[in-house]
A and B are shown apart, each in its own frame.
Chain A
């Protein structure tokens, strides 16, 4: 059987009378259809959200600005038109970052829900996020985030914090080449507790003015760095997501349980380590850049699974796109509702997403397991 062979309808003609192939399995055609729809929707959401912000810029202005940008090649910052600056350097990078962060969180959520065989898992359950948050808190305590040359130290500190917690959790959980899932969970819970306590301690000894800034960062922030940094982040997130996506079929089987997965030929320990490390590295990076934005990683995979089914070959990329769209919309709301003040994005994701998810649950009974 060749890899990627599309299913020939003629060959299955005699079986379509007994059951509906399209409904029972994710076929190549269905994958393409769903992904095409989601990509169009994503483009629409991204373009639509350019409209929203503290300063209102009409659609005609937006189009003109884009034409101007295209005509002049790379934009020069000395351009005097403030709307240009706002659109291209404040709003657009923010939207792009929101899409990447949302997509990444959702993808990690899917992977961890498969790894931990728990539909309530989210990217923050393994303790990596609190490690990154602790790194950021330390940076702000020591004031290293705000110095002459190193204005980008904050994400670096946070990322190092995240890496350290990956190391600690891995070290605790791995033994003799095995990565037992319950130890992983426990290690994550303990680490979360310890690091959160440390963050609280730092808050208590910090200058109240500075601690306010720190809390505000921790609640989620999407101030995008410049385009080269966005590009680097996109590559990073893209590689990580690709690694997770490449294990989709094995992830399907992993949800059956480790013993069944082994009996079907999956190298379970290697798969678990791959998922853990990839998910942890992605989470660390995302938290370093944008603080703790909750809810996306747990609920988007759930909601998407209700619609497209549990096959990870479709679930993973679909969740990525839906997660990206969700965060872009949430961010548009966050920066517009109380302009010029901003609501922290994490607050909007929870307040907006919670009721939507409850509605979904009540409408589609039996969508969840058991």
Chain B
């Protein structure tokens, strides 16, 4: 059986600020260097690492939101630089960590924006009206993310957690094959955190949706990701299953602290615990 092509094939990827001349200042230090890895079709990959390790930059490069300095990105076998933004958007959806909304669009309008890449082409510019399919997709996505009851509320009138769920619904409405999420659980209540993970797993099972998510939550990554990539200073430190990566030595090397790593009693996957009060009082 021929293996499916990987969702992403990254070779020698490098990125730094300031070399694009529209950004002021001298070229900065490299925020990503020599990254080479694959994202398998239908897998959930977690990106972990301390602040400044380049996780968000990598995510944005994968979504063709920023352009790399060196290296290549192949999306389902085709080079991303040759693809029009539209085409990329039909395959990849990006959920940012925070979003400022200047104008008070409703939740429904926000989620419907996710249907933009699927609009009919070539008529009066980008002008068009949403069709039945668009509405249905949007409703399904909102139902999945439990924001359907907020559809006619302005996006300014909801809590940050609800707003985050609406943005994820928007990404789902794009019907992507890959979902990129930047700290998706950051603003959510516990029940919603669990819910998101459950939904991601469900979409992954049912539709083969590949997911790349950046997180600070080591345990969530451990429980729900197929593989984890640990980054440090813009370089790939280690990539592998949670068993391979969530180990005390790896965590010590990258995060420079000692933590307790044991097994989750239910799943058997690694579980990270912060050191107890007595453990911290050592040199």
Contacts and interface: CB of A to CB of B under 8 A. Distances in A.
Q: In the complex, is A directly touching B at CB under 8 Å?
A: yes
Interface of A: 1-8, 11-12, 15, 18-21, 23-28, 117-119, 175-176, 178, 180, 183, 243, 245-250, 252-253, 255-257, 259-260, 262-268, 305, 309-311, 313, 366-367, 369-370
A278 to B, nearest CB: 11
A260 B151 contact: no
B132 A1 contact: yes
Interface in B59-77: 60, 63-65
Contacts of A25: 106, 108-109, 112, 130
A169 to B, nearest CB: 15
11 contacts: A6-B129, A24-B106, A24-B109, A176-B22, A263-B65, A267-B86, A309-B106, A311-B105, A311-B109, A366-B154, A369-B104
B174 interface: yes
Contacts, number: 172
Interface residues of B, number: 60
B145 interface: no
Contacts of A23: 106, 152
Interface stretch (B133-141, B197-205, B219-227, B234-242): B133-141
Contacts of A250: 116, 125-126
B120 interface: yes
A176 B21 contact: yes
A267 B85 contact: yes
A265 B89 contact: yes
Contacts of B154: 366
A342 to B, nearest CB: 37
Contact of A255 (B88, B103, B125, B131): B103
A259 B136 CA distance: 26
B131 A252 contact: no
A253 to B, nearest CB: 5
A176 B148 contact: no
B118 A257 contact: no
Interface of chain A, helix or strand or loop or mixed?
loop
A369 B108 contact: no
B116 A265 contact: yes
B20 interface: yes
Contact of B116 (A18, A180, A253, A369): A253
B94 interface: yes
Contacts of B124: 245-246
B126 A248 contact: yes
Contact of B126 (A28, A249, A257, A268): A249
A141 B99 CA distance: 51
Contacts of A15: 135, 139
Contact of A183 (B22, B84, B106, B134): B22
Given A23-B106, A267-B85, 13 more contacts: A1-B133, A3-B123, A4-B128, A12-B135, A19-B151, A28-B129, A117-B102, A264-B89, A265-B90, A268-B85, A309-B104, A366-B154, A370-B156
Given A7-B135, A24-B151, A369 B120 contact: no
The 9 residue pairs across chains A and B that have the minimum distance between CB atoms: A246-B125, A265-B89, A1-B131, A24-B152, A310-B103, A263-B94, A19-B151, A265-B117, A24-B108
A245 B125 CA distance: 8
A313 B126 CA distance: 10
A256 B120 contact: no
